[in-house]
Structure 1
Amino acid sequence: MALQLKHSTSIFLLFFTVSLSFHLSFALNQEGLYLLRVKDSLSDPAGTLSNWSDRDATPCHWTGIACDSRNSVVSVILSGASLSGPFPIFLCRLPSLSTLSLSNNSINSSLPLSISSCRSLTSLDLSENLFVGTLPHTLADIPFLRHINFEANNFSGDIPESYGNFRQLETLRITENLLNGTVPAALGRIKTLKSLELAYNPFSPGRLPLELGNLTNLEILWLSDCNLVGPIPDTFVGLSRLWNFDVSANRLTGSIPSVIFQLKSLIQIELYKNLFTGKLPVGWSNLTELKRFDAAMNGLTGTIPDELCELPLESLNLYENQLDGLIPESIAKSPNLYELRLFGNQLSGSLPSELGKNSALQTLDVSHNNLSGEMPEHLCQRGVLEELVLIYNSFSGNIPESLGKCQSLMRIRMRGNQLSGEVPADFWGLPHVYLLDLDSNAFSGNISHKIFGAKNLSTLSISKNKLSGSIPNETGSLKNLIELSAHDNYIGGEIPSSLVHLGQLAKLDLSNNRLSGEIPRGIRHLKQLNELNLANNRLSGQIPDEIGSMPVLNYLDLSKNSFSGNIPLSLQNLKLNMLNLSNNQLSGEVPSLFAKGVYRDSFLGNPGLCGYVAGLCNPKGENRNRVFLWILSSIFAIAGIVFLVGVVWFIWKYKNVKKMNIGVTMTKWTSFHKLGFSEFEISDCLKEANVIGKGASGKVYKVVLSNGEIVAVKKLWERSDKNENGFSSMDSEKDEFEIEVETLGKVRHKNIVRLWCCCNTGSSKLLVYEYMPNGSLGDLLHINKSKLLNWPTRFKIVLDAAEGLSYLHHDCVPSIVHRDVKSNNILLDEDFGAKISDFGVAKIVKTVNRGVESMSVIAGSCGYIAPEYAYTLRVNEKSDIYSFGVVILELVTGRTPTDPDFGEKDLAMWVYTTLDQKGIDNVVDPSLNSGFKEHICRVLDIGLLCTSSLPINRPSMRRVVKMLQALANNMPNVAEKDVKIFPSLYNVYDQESMA
């Protein structure tokens, strides 16, 4: 029995030993246990860490983990994993960890001092997170650390002095944070440093440390927008390996030191938006690798050195300085030059004769100089020239025939020169040109019939020349034409009847020509026309009655012609800001609205109208009772003064009575495009039943006028007298109201919503807009009507909105930054044409001390605000471009900018993360036709480019328009039912928001 028991015990022990060995062979090692602690400390909504399990022996096959040959963890890379929570300090328990990347997540704590326990780290990437607090001074205790990337976080305070003690550091990138100390001199002790990038931090004003000149291994120095002052130190001569030197957008002063041009490795120099003065120094011949030199918007004087132009430059920007002298001929020899911007200087002489011959020139802007001579023949020899801007110089001679073959041209401005001869026939019909400005020259000859090819033309300005012949009938085929200005020429013949088909035309000025015949029938079809000037021609016949039905006309000048017959009574419907019918052969009665002395000058020189307007003619005996009339007038004047004093006293005594419900008093009514209705007609319709939307600034009403037209009226909220800071709340309301009025009152573009008129009585502020039947893009896209927006329609909206923003940024003088670009501020007309609206927080950008204006508050909407704008408060077009990129992402994904499914992310971050982890099919709106997938991906790429975290990487709006126009020509040919534009949603959208 004992023997049997002993045998049984032996078997049990053997089984236990085998089982224990089997279990131990599959137990997770210690590093895996540390990583599980990391997993437990983080929120992982995307399930990135789902395969981190204690069922494995080692973590070497887990997501983001890499091991060496001994199964020791050497790398943890969890970029774009949607992780959030505090910094997982347990990672520092991994003894061999050399690479750690948690970029593009939502880690939202400070970085602990114990980070120094990660002793084996060589690369640390925590960029694009939500880190706060100060930078840990202990970081420099990590002995082998070579690369640090803290870009796009919320670190604040100083850069610790201890960072000068790094032993092997090569890259230090802390761009786009909240650092508010100064650039420390201690960084000059890091002899191994190759890249120092501290751009876009709100540093306190400080100088460039002399000690940075000791960084003999430095290759990249990026200190844009760091509030730097003073000169560039001479010690920088020691930066012998530097190839990228960017200190733009600061307040650096003095001259550009010649030591910079002793740095033979320089490829890119960015000095724009500073306060430099003096001449460009000598020594350019040393910069044998230089590709980009940008010293725009400084105070540079002197001449352009010939040595500079002999370099292999790709881009040369020296605009808005005080440079004089000649443009060296040698600049035309650069084989890589694609961009030359020298505008706003005092340059003289001619353009280099071979400019464009040896390089693929895309942009030439030499406006506002003293240049003369003929235009070079070879500007478009490589066939890629897009912008040609020569305004306000003294160029002479003809337009080269070769430019008529330049199909790539998009923007042409030659105003204010002495150019002459006939414009080449092909030049009139360039297919991609949207702006053709030949104003104020001496061009002769006819407007070519080939103008029909200019399908993209929106502005044609050819005034103040010597053009003759007639206006081609083909001009009426330019459906995108908004402005046609051809005054002060010798143009004859009749006005083509085809012009009445220009549905977008807002301005038609053909005054001071030799036109004959009658005004074409059907002119009422010009629904967008607000200025009609046909003065000083040889026109005859009757003034068409249909002019009175033109809905937005507010400027009408038909003077100095031979019009006859009666004045149409319908003109009374227009209530024009400017009316001039003088010096014609009109007769009959003057309409009662105009039979007043204030309109006397509008009818002078029409003998048949005498007797209908006081003072229009001078009949005999007019002065007989002058003394009696003067006495009588004086009596009435005194009585009027007494009456007014009494009224003022009454109002002052009972000022609170005016707040009773007696309707809106329209005492300050200003029109910009239209007043074809009574102001009281508007006030009568401001009822709750007509409310179609509410926004942050007020209610929006739909008003149907008695003539059948529809307008949208925004009534700003009435506010209390004082806010919590003791300031009048009306101040902010006044600011918003006046900004929108001043901005929209001057802007005319087919993709900018039109402001008809406004009313400001102090207590009541109204803005009257054109009515957009399909409401806002945001509402249409996100309220279960997105199926009405197929991909061609969405793309059309993107392109329209881009062209509107490009106009604000590049063609308004000064430029306008919208500051609240979002889908709800993009309105859609009956054909789904998009127009930018709501300019209540727009900013007219003016350079102040050659810098960028700062705002006192953040403007914009959640999910659309550019990351740098949230803390720098700098007004810049790049903020609009980021917001526009978010709109593109909305149209591609069908999602809102802030969605609960995103967690703490916004739409831009969600798209980046999802693309990286799951691919394109999980990003694109599933309701879109898959036949457009490739085209959608191309547009998505543009959206991602616009939402780059670094403002410098975002393209300009003009560039965005060019990229979209290129895609417009490559739209897939899918079945007609899939690409049609839906009809107006007037009926289904009647009660939806337009705010």
Structure 2
Amino acid sequence: MLLLLPLLLCLLFPPSTILSLNQEGLYLYQLKVSLDDPDSSLSSWNDRDDTPCHWTHVKCDSVTRSVNSLDLSNTNIAGPLPVSLLCRLRNLSYLSFSNNSINSTLPSEISMCRSLIHLDLSQNLLTGTLPHTLAELPNLQYLDLTGNNFSGDIPDSFARFEKLEVLSLVSNLLDGTCSLVGLIPDSLGKLKKLRDLDLALNNLFGSIPSSLTALTSVYQIELYNNSLSGELPLGMSNLTSLRLLDASMNQLSGTIPEELCGLPLESLNLYENRFEGELPESIANSPGLYELRLFGNRLTGKLPKNLGKYSPLRWVDVSHNQLSGELPATLCDKGELEELLMIYNSFSGELPATLGACQSLSRIRLGFNRFSGDVPAGIWGLPHDGWKTSWSFQVVITSLVGRCLRAIVNLAQLGTLDLHNNELSGELPERLRSFKKLNEMNLANNSFKGKIPEEIGSLSVLNYLDLSQNKFSGKVPSGLQNLKLNQLNLSYNRLSGNLPPLFAKDMYRNSFLGNPALCGDIKGLCDGRDEAKAAGYVWLLRTIFIVAALVFFIGVVWFYFKYRNFKMAQRAIDKSKWTLMSFHKLGFSENEILDCLDEDNVIGSGSSGKVYKVVLSNGEAVAVKKLWGGTKKEIGCVDIERGQIQDGAFDAEVETLGKIRHKNIVKLWCCCITRDCKLLVYEYMQNGSLGDLLHSCKGGLLDWPTRFKIAVDAADGLSYLHHDCVPPIVHRDVKSNNILLDVDFGARVADFGVAKVVDAIGKGAKSMSVIAGSCGYIAPEYAYTLRVNEKSDIYSFGVVILELVTGRLPVDPEFGEKDLVKWTCTILDQKGVDHVLDPKLDSCFKEEICKVLNIGLLCTSPLPINRPSMRRVVKMLQEVGTENLSKSVKKDGKLSPYYYYDDTSDQGSLA
């Protein structure tokens, strides 16, 4: 064997290579050959050199000249991890393959790299279980496996790490059976030197083990976006080095411990859990606390009276709780407060005058509380000159009594002015031209009087104007005709005279109701008769309407109870016929689902059946899709015509769908089956579909960062279907209406596999005898081949990108015979990119939006061969997002996620 080695080396490398390049260089050169390098990132690795120490991405020890660092992050390389070659570099202490396409599993032989101190394999395509041999690396201090597809449990052997300081397993598919401590091993508490524990974005559940309180060196713990439950463990006062804790978006309960708040915390994120009780006073004593996000819990009582007195508070969000009392006057004592969000609580009293003097404040939301008195004058001057002009400022304040402050015109950066449902009075100021960025003004249901200022017509970006139910008088300003309003409501005032010509149309009738002296060609407005007669006629109509509505209501209630009794009796007979097939651990039974399938709970309906929202006894909601039965052949309650798919394929298809585990694909909880019908139970998505939200009057809620996040999430889900499922799944109906949004606008791909069945057994695309897809999303080759594959999905996803960028529908009468793809290409050629982009998007993101537009055009290339794979689409979007990530908040020198919270139900207010 030893005699064959020289011959083998001669075959692999030319004689000149063997004579010039040293042994470590040979190993690295062989590593280069084994990897796919489409960007030629390793082009400097030359076999004619004598040493690899001058190659890019390689560093050597200055004394021994042996390789001690290899950093191949962000090089776009692909292929299996060449552990056998890497571990031959005996002095290799730093190894990073971050943000590439390294695939396959992580070999257990990684334990042979005995000198490793820093190992970063984050943002790759690694699969399988975590190798237990990782703990055999005696010097390892930093381990980052974020953003892969590892599954199974965290090995118990991880407790044997001797020097580990940073452990990050964020955004994997870690799962397993649930024990008392869930999937967080109790043994992790033995890692005494651990400084950073990051287990976020996994499928962990169960309680947080008390053993973690033994991590006396830990600086940061991140457990957000799991399914952890129970109370925070006792003994958290032992975590003397802890500064950043993020356990948000779980199901944690109980009170927030006093011993936790007594630590010198800098960032505390416990939002979207089930915490109750009061926030301990000791949190106000933390000298470094800059971030406090507790929204979406059940907290009660008052905020600590000294909150902000000793802490450099920057972001405070306690919205959607049951807090009460007055706001602490010390919130901005350190002069760094930027965001103050407290909507949907029971706060009362006057707003502290100190908020008006807070020079750093840029965003304040105090709506849906019980405040009284005047708004401090200084608030109307925010944001101050120190802020970038690209920021928009929002004020939403309710339950106030007082006069309109003329200082409001100092709000040069104001984007939304929402003061509806108050008792404000006085006249509006004339100087409104300073509102250059105002796109929404809602002053409804107050006591404003006088004329509507003509200068409102000069607010070029204003698209929402509601001045209804006030005491405005005089004529409707003609300048309002200059605006492009999506919503106009001047009803129930004291306006008079003739309407401007643009508004004298029946389509604007509801915008001017309740102004008896207002005249125009609209039926129901003044037609020359006196004001008293018109007012009497309106009163008569109101009386008739109220009586009719009352009779109708009584009839509906009577019918409802009769119908409900009938359905309950019918269900009592039929319940025994249902069979439940579950794919996850369920906290409900089929009876609880069946009891809620009333017409009152229908949230959608189509040719295949109806969709119901079912609120379970534990307070959580699910979506139930009831699919019709009949004489046609069925696949999971979906009618498939002409016998394309056999009845026996149902079990196989449901089993495949039930095995899918990905954070960007809607979760299928279970399937309920009878002879005549079948029910599919999915997770409930609070914000509905992207299509409904993007193309409705609520489209303003989707700013560019939110739209970009939706695009990345959806691309991740489709990439998983195409590249990580065995066999691969082709969606066949990718569209904005099949991308659903959760409460944080996280995107999930829906309606695939069962509802849109493809050939999962054959090795190629399959010709279809019926049309698959939706108008405007169908790839052009489908018209003449009737074949669908991954390239068809990529084209449809490209159309979704164009929708996000342009804000337009995939087909529109305005396009004529063109669809959105052809319209976009035509407008780009004729008028330029500015006429394509959605005008609601902030121009400061124009460069990033244009890059995403190019990705959409690449995906919608007429030739399938020119479209990138979905895995490549994900990488391109991630590259565009790098600039956004660089602006995120940094914690302890490490990039960490920054969460932006808003409330979509804030009665028309835009964040």
| TM-score w.r.t. length of structure 2 | 0.59
Inter-partner Cα distance in structure 2 for 1:283 and 1:387? 32
Contact 2:188 2:212 (8 Å CA) reproduced: yes
Counterpart in 1 of 2:596?
none
Cα deviation for residue 493 of structure 1 reads 1.4
Tell me which amino acid in the other structure corresponds to 1:436.
V
Q: Which of the numbers 17, 28, 43 marks the counterpart of 2:20?
A: 28
State the Cα distance separating 1:480 from its structure 2 match: 2.5
CA distance in 2, matches of 1:468, 1:321: 40
The letter for the 2-side match of 1:488 is: N
Aligned pair 1:844/2:779, yes or no?
Answer: no
Query: Do residues 179 (structure 1) and 150 (structure 2) align?
Result: yes
Is the contact made by 1:473 and 1:498 (CA closer than 8 Å) also made in structure 2? Answer: yes
State yes or no: 1:436 paired with 2:386: no
Question: Match for residue 452 of structure 2?
Answer: 495
SS of the residue corresponding to residue 450 of structure 1 reads helix
What secondary structure sits across from 2:504 in the alignment? helix
Extract unaligned runs of 5+ from structure 1.
1-22, 81-102, 211-228, 573-580, 590-602, 617-719, 753-802, 810-814, 822-837, 867-883, 914-922, 924-938, 961-995
Change beyond 3 A, Cα 1:140–1:863: farther
Q: 1:376 to 1:511 in 2, by over 3 A?
A: same
Instruction: From the superposition, tell whether residues 414 and 807 of structure 1 become closer, same or farther in structure 2 (CA, over 3 Å).
Output: farther
- Contact 1:58–1:71 under 8 Å retained in 2: no
1:807 Cα deviation from its structure 2 partner: 8.6
Classify 1:839/1:906 alpha carbon distance in 2 versus 1 (closer, same or farther; 3 Å): closer
Matching residue of 1:522? 479
1:374 equivalent in alignment to 2:326: yes
- The 8 Å contact of residues 585 and 606 in structure 1, kept in 2 or not, is answered as no
Q: Which residue of 1 aligns with 2:429?
A: 472
Say whether residues 1:261 and 2:213 are aligned partners.
yes
Q: Which position in structure 1 is the counterpart of 2:192?
A: 240
Shift, 1:186, TM fit: 3.8
**Shift in CA distance, 722/455, structure 1 to aligned 2, threshold 3 Å:** farther
Deviation, structure 1 residue 545: 3.6
The aligned counterpart of 2:297 is 345
1: distance between equivalents of 2:230 and 2:102?
43
* Structure-2 change in CA distance of 1:175 and 1:863 (3 Å): farther
Q: Which range is displaced more, 115-124 or 430-439? A: 115-124
CA displacement, residues 299-342 of structure 1 (integer Å, 9 cap, x when unaligned): 33333333322221111122233333322222222121111122
Match of 2:343 in 1: 391
Q: How much has 1:406 moved relative to structure 2?
A: 2.7
Equivalent in the alignment of 1:541? 497
Equivalent position of 1:74 in the other structure: 67
CA RMSD of aligned residues (A): 5.3
> Which residues of 2 match residues 741-760 of structure 1 at below 5 A?
742-748=692-698
CA distance in 2, matches of 1:192, 1:375: 46
Percent of pairs with identical residues: 34
For residues 433 and 310 of structure 1, do their structure 2 counterparts lie closer, same or farther at Cα, with a shift above 3 Å needed? farther
Superposed CA deviations along residues 938-962 of structure 1, whole A, max 9, x for unmatched, are: x9844766899xxx947558599xx
TM-superposed deviation, 1:462 = 0.9
Of residues 47, 52, 58, the one that matches 2:46 is 52
Q: Which of 116, 120, 140 does residue 149 from structure 1 map onto?
A: 120
C-alpha contact 2:427 2:448 (8 A) present in aligned 1: yes
Within 5 Å, give how 1:692-841 maps onto structure 2: 739=689, 742-748=692-698, 803-806=703-706, 819=714, 839-840=736-737
AA at the equivalent of 2:313 = L
Q: State the alpha-carbon separation in 2 of the partners of residues 895 and 585 from structure 1.
A: 53
Following the alignment from structure 1 to structure 2, what is the Cα–Cα distance between the partners of residues 207 and 151? 26
Worse overlay, 399-408 or 335-344: 399-408
| Structure 2 counterpart of 1:133 | 104
| Aligned match of 2:373 | 421
CA contact (8 A) 2:712 2:877 kept: no
How far apart are the structure 2 equivalents of 1:315 and 1:452? 35
CA deviation string 1:7-40 (max 9, x = no partner): xxxxxxxxxxxxxxxx99x963654677766677
TM-aligned CA deviation for residue 470 of structure 1: 0.9
CA distance in structure 2 between the partners assigned to 1:894 and 1:416 by the alignment: 39
Structure 2 counterpart of 1:743, one-letter code: L
The answer to whether the Cα contact below 8 Å between 2:76 and 2:100 also exists between their aligned partners in 1 is: yes
1:506 maps to amino acid? N
SS of structure 1 residue aligned to 2:212: helix
In structure 2, the CA distance between the partners of 1:33 and 1:346, relative to structure 1 (3 Å rule), is closer
Letter paired with 1:497: E
Q: For 2:212 and 2:219, locate their aligned partners in 1 and report how far apart those are by CA, in whole Å.
A: 12
1:366 Cα deviation after fit: 1.6
Q: How does 1:567-966 map to 2 (within 5 A)?
A: 568-569=520-521, 571=522, 581=524, 586-587=527-528, 605=535, 607=537, 739=689, 742-748=692-698, 803-806=703-706, 819=714, 839-840=736-737, 842-846=739-743, 888=847, 941-942=883-884, 953=895, 956=898
Report the alpha carbon displacement of residue 267 of structure 1 after superposing the two structures with TM. Answer: 2.1
> Separation in 2 of the partners of 1:808 and 1:890?
9
**Aligned letter for 2:495?**
L
Shift, 1:199, TM fit = 3.1
CA drift at 1:419: 1.0
- Give CA-to-partner distance per residue, 1:355-391, whole Å, 9 cap, x none: 2222222222222222222222222233332222222
Structure 1 counterpart of 2:462, from 505, 509, 513: 505
Q: Is the CA contact 1:350–1:372 (under 8 Å) kept in the aligned structure 2?
A: yes
One-letter code aligned to 1:362 = R
CA distance in 1, matches of 2:299, 2:309: 22
Give me the whole-angstrom Cα distance separating, in 1, the residues matched to 2:875 and 2:124: 14
The alpha carbon displacement at 1:457 in A equals 1.8
Measured in 2, the distance between the counterparts of 1:28 and 1:144 equals 26
What's the CA shift for 1:188?
Answer: 3.8
Q: Deviations over 1:740-781 (max 9, x none)?
A: 6522354445697xxxxxxxxxxxxxxxxxxxxxxxxxxxxx
Distance 1:277 1:68 in 2: 48
Give distance in 1, aligned partners of 2:359 and 2:309: 17
| Structure-2 change in CA distance of 1:954 and 1:279 (3 Å) | closer
Deviation at 1:437, TM superposition (A): 0.8
* Residue number in structure 1 paired with 2:223: 271
Query: Residue 9 of structure 2 aligns with which residue?
Result: none
Q: Is the 8 A contact 2:204 2:227 kept in 1?
A: yes
How has the CA–CA distance of structure 1 residues 429 and 160 changed in structure 2, closer, same or farther, with 3 Å as cutoff?
closer
Distance 1:808 1:107 in 2: 25
Give the alignment partner of residue 562 of structure 1, picking from 508, 516, 521.
516
List alignment gaps of at least 5 residues for structure 2: 1-14, 384-390, 546-639, 651-664, 666-681, 683-687, 717-734, 753-789, 802-842, 860-864, 903-911
Q: Hey, what's the Cα distance between the residues in 2 that align with 1:522 and 1:903?
A: 49
AA at the equivalent of 2:397: L
Does structure 2 conserve the Cα–Cα contact (< 8 Å) formed by 1:492 and 1:515?
Answer: yes
CA deviation after TM superposition for structure 1 residue 273, in Å: 3.0
Report the TM-score when normalising by structure 1.
0.54
Structure 2 partner of 1:881: none
CA offset digits 1:588-623 (Å, max 9, x no partner): 69xxxxxxxxxxxxx985559999xxx99xxxxxxx
Q: Which residue of 2 aligns with 1:976?
A: none
Q: Quick one: structure 1 residues 292 and 555, their matched pair in 2 at CA, closer, same or farther if it must change by over 3 Å? A: farther
Q: 1:107: Cα distance to partner?
A: 3.8
CA distance in 2, matches of 1:69, 1:274: 45
Contact 2:67 2:89 in 1 (8 A): no
With over 3 angstroms needed to count, the CA separation of the structure-2 counterparts of 1:818 and 1:464, relative to structure 1, is farther
- Give the C-alpha shift of residue 525 in structure 1: 1.8
| Deviation digits for residues 550-576 of structure 1 (CA, Å, limit 9, x no counterpart) | 9xx6572433333155xx33x48xxxx
The amino acid of 1:844's aligned partner reads L
Residue 472 of structure 1 deviates from its aligned partner by 1.4
CA deviation after TM superposition for structure 1 residue 291, in Å: 1.2
Which residue identity does 1:437 align to in structure 2?
A: V
Give the Cα–Cα distance (whole angstroms) in 2 for the partners of residues 452 and 406 of structure 1.
18
Deviation at 1:446, TM superposition (A): 1.9
Q: Supply the distance in 2 between the matched residues of 1:428 and 1:375 (Cα, whole angstroms).
A: 18
